[in-house]
Structure 1
Protein backbone atom coordinates (compact mmCIF):
# COMPACT_ATOMS: atom_id res chain seq x y z
CA UNK A 1 0.00 0.00 0.00
CA UNK A 2 1.44 3.39 -0.97
CA UNK A 3 1.60 6.32 1.41
CA UNK A 4 0.44 9.83 0.68
CA UNK A 5 2.96 12.44 -0.25
CA UNK A 6 2.60 15.49 2.07
CA UNK A 7 1.74 17.65 -0.96
CA UNK A 8 -1.30 15.42 -1.58
CA UNK A 9 -2.87 16.96 1.51
CA UNK A 10 -2.52 20.49 0.17
CA UNK A 11 -5.45 21.82 -1.85
CA UNK A 12 -5.09 24.87 -4.08
CA UNK A 13 -8.52 26.45 -4.55
CA UNK A 14 -8.14 28.87 -7.47
CA UNK A 15 -10.94 31.43 -7.33
CA UNK A 16 -12.26 34.65 -8.77
CA UNK A 17 -15.49 36.56 -8.13
CA UNK A 18 -17.66 34.29 -10.29
CA UNK A 19 -20.64 32.25 -9.16
CA UNK A 20 -18.79 29.10 -10.22
CA UNK A 21 -15.88 29.93 -7.93
CA UNK A 22 -18.28 30.31 -5.04
CA UNK A 23 -19.76 26.90 -5.95
CA UNK A 24 -16.25 25.42 -5.87
CA UNK A 25 -15.59 26.92 -2.42
CA UNK A 26 -18.93 25.61 -1.14
CA UNK A 27 -18.23 22.15 -2.57
CA UNK A 28 -14.84 21.93 -0.86
CA UNK A 29 -16.39 23.24 2.38
CA UNK A 30 -19.14 20.59 2.32
CA UNK A 31 -16.74 17.81 1.33
CA UNK A 32 -13.97 18.51 3.84
CA UNK A 33 -15.78 20.37 6.60
CA UNK A 34 -15.75 18.62 9.94
CA UNK A 35 -13.33 15.82 9.02
CA UNK A 36 -10.53 17.24 11.13
CA UNK A 37 -7.00 18.22 10.24
CA UNK A 38 -4.36 16.76 8.04
CA UNK A 39 -4.83 19.07 5.08
CA UNK A 40 -4.42 22.69 4.09
CA UNK A 41 -6.45 24.77 1.67
CA UNK A 42 -5.00 27.80 -0.04
CA UNK A 43 -7.41 30.25 -1.60
CA UNK A 44 -5.55 31.50 -4.65
CA UNK A 45 -6.57 34.57 -6.59
CA UNK A 46 -4.14 35.73 -9.25
CA UNK A 47 -3.93 39.48 -9.56
CA UNK A 48 -3.03 39.70 -13.21
CA UNK A 49 -0.78 42.65 -13.79
CA UNK A 50 -1.80 44.62 -16.87
CA UNK A 51 0.79 45.51 -19.49
CA UNK A 52 2.97 48.48 -18.55
CA UNK A 53 1.35 50.72 -21.16
CA UNK A 54 -2.20 49.98 -19.91
CA UNK A 55 -2.15 52.86 -17.40
CA UNK A 56 -1.31 56.44 -18.35
CA UNK A 57 0.94 56.80 -15.30
CA UNK A 58 2.70 54.75 -12.66
CA UNK A 59 0.55 56.41 -10.00
CA UNK A 60 -2.64 55.15 -11.67
CA UNK A 61 -1.19 51.64 -11.89
CA UNK A 62 -0.35 51.69 -8.18
CA UNK A 63 -3.80 53.05 -7.34
CA UNK A 64 -5.48 50.29 -9.40
CA UNK A 65 -3.36 47.59 -7.76
CA UNK A 66 -4.18 48.90 -4.28
CA UNK A 67 -7.93 49.05 -4.98
CA UNK A 68 -7.98 45.65 -6.70
CA UNK A 69 -5.98 44.05 -3.90
CA UNK A 70 -8.46 45.42 -1.33
CA UNK A 71 -11.44 44.05 -3.32
CA UNK A 72 -9.78 40.66 -3.73
CA UNK A 73 -8.96 40.56 -0.02
CA UNK A 74 -12.62 41.08 0.88
CA UNK A 75 -13.68 38.35 -1.55
CA UNK A 76 -11.18 35.86 -0.15
CA UNK A 77 -12.25 36.63 3.42
CA UNK A 78 -15.82 35.84 2.34
CA UNK A 79 -14.62 32.51 0.93
CA UNK A 80 -12.61 31.85 4.11
CA UNK A 81 -15.80 32.39 6.14
CA UNK A 82 -17.65 29.80 4.04
CA UNK A 83 -14.91 27.24 4.72
CA UNK A 84 -14.80 28.03 8.44
CA UNK A 85 -18.60 27.88 8.73
CA UNK A 86 -18.39 24.25 7.59
CA UNK A 87 -15.87 23.33 10.27
CA UNK A 88 -12.56 23.85 8.50
CA UNK A 89 -10.15 25.39 10.98
CA UNK A 90 -8.70 28.82 10.33
CA UNK A 91 -5.21 27.31 10.78
CA UNK A 92 -5.95 25.08 7.76
CA UNK A 93 -6.81 27.98 5.43
CA UNK A 94 -4.30 30.20 3.72
CA UNK A 95 -4.82 33.11 1.35
CA UNK A 96 -2.45 33.76 -1.53
CA UNK A 97 -2.83 36.70 -3.94
CA UNK A 98 0.27 37.03 -6.07
CA UNK A 99 0.55 39.91 -8.51
CA UNK A 100 1.98 38.55 -11.72
CA UNK A 101 1.94 38.79 -15.45
CA UNK A 102 -0.15 35.91 -16.81
CA UNK A 103 -0.44 35.34 -20.53
CA UNK A 104 -2.27 32.11 -19.59
CA UNK A 105 -4.22 31.92 -16.33
CA UNK A 106 -4.10 28.13 -16.33
CA UNK A 107 -0.31 28.11 -16.69
CA UNK A 108 0.02 30.65 -13.87
CA UNK A 109 -2.18 28.47 -11.62
CA UNK A 110 0.02 25.47 -12.42
CA UNK A 111 3.15 27.50 -11.69
CA UNK A 112 1.70 28.50 -8.30
CA UNK A 113 0.84 24.84 -7.65
CA UNK A 114 4.47 23.92 -8.22
CA UNK A 115 5.87 26.80 -6.14
CA UNK A 116 3.53 26.11 -3.22
CA UNK A 117 3.73 22.28 -3.60
CA UNK A 118 0.07 21.36 -3.88
CA UNK A 119 -1.32 17.95 -4.84
CA UNK A 120 -4.84 19.04 -5.76
CA UNK A 121 -6.20 22.02 -7.70
CA UNK A 122 -9.88 22.95 -7.42
CA UNK A 123 -11.59 25.35 -9.83
CA UNK A 124 -15.12 26.22 -10.79
CA UNK A 125 -16.14 25.46 -14.34
CA UNK A 126 -16.72 28.58 -16.39
CA UNK A 127 -20.19 28.75 -17.90
CA UNK A 128 -19.07 28.72 -21.52
CA UNK A 129 -21.08 27.31 -24.38
CA UNK A 130 -19.33 24.58 -26.41
CA UNK A 131 -18.63 27.11 -29.19
CA UNK A 132 -17.18 29.66 -26.75
CA UNK A 133 -15.01 26.97 -25.19
CA UNK A 134 -13.55 26.07 -28.61
CA UNK A 135 -12.92 29.72 -29.50
CA UNK A 136 -11.76 31.04 -26.14
CA UNK A 137 -10.68 27.93 -24.31
CA UNK A 138 -11.40 27.57 -20.63
CA UNK A 139 -9.11 27.65 -17.64
CA UNK A 140 -10.55 24.42 -16.26
CA UNK A 141 -10.14 22.55 -19.57
CA UNK A 142 -6.55 23.72 -19.91
CA UNK A 143 -5.78 22.76 -16.31
CA UNK A 144 -7.10 19.25 -16.87
CA UNK A 145 -5.07 18.98 -20.06
CA UNK A 146 -1.79 20.45 -18.76
CA UNK A 147 -1.66 19.40 -15.09
CA UNK A 148 1.03 16.92 -14.08
CA UNK A 149 1.55 15.16 -10.75
CA UNK A 150 -1.68 16.44 -9.21
CA UNK A 151 -5.42 15.97 -9.19
CA UNK A 152 -7.72 18.59 -10.72
CA UNK A 153 -11.27 18.96 -9.42
CA UNK A 154 -13.57 20.92 -11.68
CA UNK A 155 -16.77 21.91 -9.88
CA UNK A 156 -19.79 22.52 -12.09
Structure 2
Protein backbone atom coordinates (compact mmCIF):
# COMPACT_ATOMS: atom_id res chain seq x y z
CA UNK A 1 0.00 0.00 0.00
CA UNK A 2 1.28 3.44 -0.94
CA UNK A 3 1.83 6.20 1.59
CA UNK A 4 -1.07 8.61 1.11
CA UNK A 5 0.81 11.46 2.81
CA UNK A 6 2.45 12.69 -0.43
CA UNK A 7 -0.48 14.53 -1.96
CA UNK A 8 -0.71 16.34 -5.28
CA UNK A 9 -3.63 18.75 -5.55
CA UNK A 10 -4.59 20.08 -8.97
CA UNK A 11 -5.44 23.75 -8.46
CA UNK A 12 -7.22 26.30 -10.59
CA UNK A 13 -9.30 29.37 -9.82
CA UNK A 14 -12.62 27.52 -9.42
CA UNK A 15 -14.75 27.12 -6.32
CA UNK A 16 -14.48 23.34 -6.80
CA UNK A 17 -10.68 23.45 -6.56
CA UNK A 18 -10.94 25.57 -3.43
CA UNK A 19 -13.38 23.06 -1.94
CA UNK A 20 -10.85 20.30 -2.69
CA UNK A 21 -8.10 22.34 -0.98
CA UNK A 22 -10.24 22.77 2.12
CA UNK A 23 -11.03 19.07 2.19
CA UNK A 24 -7.34 18.16 1.94
CA UNK A 25 -6.51 20.64 4.68
CA UNK A 26 -9.12 19.19 7.01
CA UNK A 27 -8.06 15.58 6.40
CA UNK A 28 -4.31 16.14 6.29
CA UNK A 29 -4.01 18.52 9.23
CA UNK A 30 -4.08 15.53 11.59
CA UNK A 31 -0.82 14.23 10.08
CA UNK A 32 2.66 15.43 10.96
CA UNK A 33 4.16 13.73 7.90
CA UNK A 34 1.99 15.14 5.12
CA UNK A 35 3.51 16.89 2.12
CA UNK A 36 1.25 18.68 -0.34
CA UNK A 37 2.23 19.67 -3.86
CA UNK A 38 -0.08 22.23 -5.46
CA UNK A 39 -0.07 21.98 -9.26
CA UNK A 40 -1.54 24.55 -11.62
CA UNK A 41 -1.64 23.34 -15.23
CA UNK A 42 -2.75 25.80 -17.86
CA UNK A 43 -3.79 24.90 -21.42
CA UNK A 44 -1.94 25.74 -24.61
CA UNK A 45 -2.93 29.09 -26.14
CA UNK A 46 -6.09 29.10 -28.27
CA UNK A 47 -5.56 28.23 -31.96
CA UNK A 48 -5.90 31.85 -33.15
CA UNK A 49 -3.77 33.34 -30.39
CA UNK A 50 -0.60 33.70 -32.44
CA UNK A 51 -2.36 34.93 -35.60
CA UNK A 52 -3.82 37.76 -33.52
CA UNK A 53 -0.32 38.88 -32.53
CA UNK A 54 0.05 37.05 -29.24
CA UNK A 55 3.37 35.64 -28.08
CA UNK A 56 4.09 32.62 -25.93
CA UNK A 57 5.94 34.80 -23.41
CA UNK A 58 2.94 37.12 -23.04
CA UNK A 59 0.59 34.15 -22.67
CA UNK A 60 2.82 32.56 -20.04
CA UNK A 61 2.97 35.81 -18.10
CA UNK A 62 -0.84 36.06 -17.99
CA UNK A 63 -1.26 32.41 -17.02
CA UNK A 64 1.47 32.46 -14.35
CA UNK A 65 -0.16 35.55 -12.84
CA UNK A 66 -3.52 33.72 -12.68
CA UNK A 67 -1.80 30.67 -11.24
CA UNK A 68 -0.10 32.78 -8.57
CA UNK A 69 -3.43 34.12 -7.37
CA UNK A 70 -4.96 30.62 -7.17
CA UNK A 71 -1.88 29.17 -5.45
CA UNK A 72 -1.69 31.95 -2.84
CA UNK A 73 -5.36 31.38 -1.99
CA UNK A 74 -4.78 27.61 -1.74
CA UNK A 75 -1.75 28.06 0.53
CA UNK A 76 -3.65 30.51 2.72
CA UNK A 77 -6.52 28.04 3.14
CA UNK A 78 -4.18 25.15 3.93
CA UNK A 79 -2.18 27.08 6.52
CA UNK A 80 -5.38 28.30 8.22
CA UNK A 81 -6.33 24.63 8.58
CA UNK A 82 -3.02 23.78 10.28
CA UNK A 83 -0.79 22.65 7.40
CA UNK A 84 2.69 24.16 7.76
CA UNK A 85 4.04 26.19 4.85
CA UNK A 86 7.13 23.96 4.87
CA UNK A 87 4.91 21.01 3.93
CA UNK A 88 3.60 22.79 0.80
CA UNK A 89 5.32 23.03 -2.57
CA UNK A 90 3.96 24.45 -5.81
CA UNK A 91 4.48 24.31 -9.54
CA UNK A 92 2.92 25.96 -12.57
CA UNK A 93 3.17 24.42 -16.00
CA UNK A 94 1.92 24.72 -19.54
CA UNK A 95 0.13 21.60 -20.79
CA UNK A 96 2.47 21.81 -23.80
CA UNK A 97 0.49 19.67 -26.22
CA UNK A 98 -0.87 17.32 -23.56
CA UNK A 99 -4.35 17.20 -22.13
CA UNK A 100 -4.67 18.72 -18.67
CA UNK A 101 -5.35 15.20 -17.36
CA UNK A 102 -2.16 13.80 -18.87
CA UNK A 103 -0.11 16.71 -17.54
CA UNK A 104 -1.49 16.03 -14.05
CA UNK A 105 -0.69 12.31 -14.34
CA UNK A 106 2.85 13.11 -15.48
CA UNK A 107 3.25 15.42 -12.48
CA UNK A 108 2.21 12.58 -10.16
CA UNK A 109 5.27 10.65 -11.34
CA UNK A 110 7.59 13.65 -11.41
CA UNK A 111 6.76 14.70 -7.84
CA UNK A 112 6.46 11.10 -6.57
CA UNK A 113 3.03 11.65 -5.04
CA UNK A 114 0.77 8.81 -3.97
CA UNK A 115 -2.53 10.65 -3.62
CA UNK A 116 -4.13 12.88 -6.23
CA UNK A 117 -6.88 15.33 -5.32
CA UNK A 118 -8.99 17.20 -7.85
CA UNK A 119 -12.16 19.21 -7.62
CA UNK A 120 -15.04 18.22 -9.85
CA UNK A 121 -15.91 21.17 -12.07
CA UNK A 122 -19.60 20.45 -12.35
CA UNK A 123 -19.81 20.85 -16.11
CA UNK A 124 -22.92 20.01 -18.07
CA UNK A 125 -23.34 16.74 -19.97
CA UNK A 126 -22.99 18.65 -23.26
CA UNK A 127 -19.71 20.25 -22.14
CA UNK A 128 -18.46 16.89 -20.91
CA UNK A 129 -19.30 15.31 -24.27
CA UNK A 130 -17.59 18.09 -26.23
CA UNK A 131 -14.56 18.76 -24.06
CA UNK A 132 -14.27 15.77 -21.75
CA UNK A 133 -14.11 15.78 -18.01
CA UNK A 134 -10.74 16.02 -16.32
CA UNK A 135 -11.97 14.29 -13.14
CA UNK A 136 -13.60 11.44 -15.11
CA UNK A 137 -10.48 10.93 -17.18
CA UNK A 138 -8.29 10.90 -14.07
CA UNK A 139 -10.61 8.45 -12.33
CA UNK A 140 -10.38 6.10 -15.32
CA UNK A 141 -6.60 6.37 -15.59
CA UNK A 142 -5.76 6.08 -11.89
CA UNK A 143 -3.32 3.24 -11.44
CA UNK A 144 -0.89 2.73 -8.59
CA UNK A 145 -2.13 5.64 -6.49
CA UNK A 146 -5.27 6.95 -4.80
CA UNK A 147 -7.47 9.62 -6.34
CA UNK A 148 -9.84 11.80 -4.38
CA UNK A 149 -12.44 13.65 -6.48
CA UNK A 150 -14.09 16.34 -4.41
CA UNK A 151 -17.45 17.56 -5.66
TM-score, length of structure 1 as denominator length: 0.85
Which runs of no fewer than 5 residues in structure 2 stay unpaired?
none
- Asked if structure 2 preserves the Cα contact closer than 8 Å seen for 1:37 and 1:92, the reply is no
* Runs of at least 5 residues in structure 1 that lack an aligned partner in the other structure: none
Residues 9 and 38 in structure 1, CA contact (< 8 A), matched pair in contact too: yes
Q: Would you say 1:15 and 2:45 are equivalent positions?
A: no
Deviation (angstroms), 1:74: 2.0
Contact 1:13/1:43, CA 8 A, preserved across alignment:
yes
CA distance in 1, matches of 2:62, 2:126: 34
1:69 counterpart (52, 64, 72):
64
- The answer to whether the 8 Å contact 1:122/1:155 transfers is yes
> Compared with structure 1, are the counterparts of its residues 77 and 44 closer, same or farther at alpha carbon in structure 2 (3 Å cutoff)?
same
Instruction: Choose 1 or 2 for highest CA Rg.
Output: 1
Q: TM-score, normalised by structure 2?
A: 0.87
Q: CA RMSD in A?
A: 2.2
8 Å contact kept, 1:106–1:139:
yes
Q: How far, CA to CA, are the matches of 2:148 and 2:52 in structure 1?
A: 40
Q: Counterpart of 2:22? A: 26
Q: Does 1:106 align with 2:91?
A: no
Aligned-partner Cα distance in 1 for 2:94–2:144:
25
Distance in 2 of aligned mates of 1:136 and 1:59: 24
Shift of the alpha carbon at 1:40? Answer: 0.5
Alignment equivalent of 1:81, drawn from 64, 76, 92: 76
